[in-house]
Structure 1
Amino acid sequence: MVGFIEEPQVGCGVRFDKVFYPFYKKDVEAGKITREEAQELFECVWIKFLETGFLHPPIWSGSGGGGLGWQTVTIGGTTNEGGDVTNDVTYLVLDSVDALKTLQPPLALRWHSGTPRELLLRATEVLGTGIGQPAIFNDHFNIPRLMKLGVPLEDVRDYAISTCMWPVIPGKNIVHRASNTGPFMTLKCLELALNQGRGMGAGEQLGPETKDPLTFSSIDEIVEATMEQFMYFMRGEFCLGNLANRLYDYEIYLQRPVLGC
């Protein structure tokens, strides 16, 4: 949670089942707690998450389900050595989410070829309740992706999900290595293509001045104009992303020691 000091919405950045299973296993074997009692404690933690939020503008709160902090909790995935991490806490988390059906914290499930079928079936059951959780992330995509950024394999295998979809390494400051630099509205590109780059609101020239739509003779010309608008804004998106990488990834200017704890 200390990550909120340096950046809002950094997510929980913790692999809940991997971290808590040794403590759970020890107490169960010692007869200090039952599975049912442990689930109740996990549910209390989930409710505690709801106490943390942010004040967002109405358009953001409306699209994001309120003033959430997106403190995503990650379950599943692999150990640092490459084995499957699934354990009883993995299922306890799913049972807790199923019982409470709260929006916060979001739940991320890491999938790989060694993920037990039983876990996938249970996750599907929880998704089937309509709560939209857990979000499922493919290790066979994310692990190579992070390795291309120079992250060591042992660290990559320990990645967790922050906010809605950012892979981070717990205890390592790589929050912005795979971040986005802002929402991208593809349909806005179509609107601009049909208005020669002008927004329909204030009529400002937002994008390049494409052809007059009254001269279009086929759908191909609409697609071509839309793609011209799309590429114009995508180039800007990449420029912002590269700048963020320069500032954050290599810690040249904006170091964040708390996120690296």
Structure 2
Amino acid sequence: MNRSVLFWLLLVVDGVFAADDVKSVSVSVLVGDSVTLNTDDTETQGAEALRWKIQDEKQFIAEIDKEAGKKPDVPGNNDERFKGRLELDDQTGSLTITNLKTTDSRVYELHIKKKESKCTRFNVTVRDAVKTVSVMEGESVTLPTGVIEIQGYDLVLWKFKDNSVAEINKGTNQFLVYDSDDVRFKGRLQLNEKSGSLIISNSKTTDSGDYHLNMSSSSHFLQRTIGVTVNESGLSPGAVAGIVIVVAVLLVAAVVAVYHCRK
């Protein structure tokens, strides 16, 4: 039997790698996020093939086979579970899953074939959460990263309408808010240095829109969008009409009650 075929047949059998050859990574994300599962340059350098699969499944969902001279392929996009939501980086072999669903919570395995074969397991957990925030004008808005501490992330970047508004860069040990020159937020932005969450104080209607969060680590890259709606603090005509009706009904009820009591 061809040695290459034999290798990949053995690959799908549990226990084929020694404990030292398997690396595990845990990734926690929210529904609707996009996540990129990164490859390690030191491990992929000189690799003959890179293949992605779901643990305990035989079929590969993405692969780069340099040995066979094939073009990079993503057969997982034909799978009803993913339906075009998988992207494979032709150069690095990193796998991106867009518009995540709770059903995407699985263990994804990257198998690297080279002189010393490697396997990395990404335990991806997708949690359901509200990704929209609605507040009244003047209230504070907190946009969460979804983590208690950002120890595993090297970069946390918040953007609004394509402009960076806050950043945590561990490489340069910087915690920055870009509100000094932006008249929209002028002194109203705060950054939680532990969780990376963004706080907007004394919110205004002009703060309404989509806020984009990028978080990167050596193992994965996360993208999230949180929609913010800041409502005017004044009562709308509909709300005023509703209050008038309620008051009128209460007055009528009071008059009727007094009448019956006197009778």
Range into which the TM-score falls when normalised by the shorter chain: under 0.3
Name the one with the larger strand percent.
2
Name the one with the larger helix percent.
1
Q: TM-score, normalization: structure 2? A: 0.20
Which has the larger Rg? 2
Q: TM-score, normalization: structure 1? A: 0.20
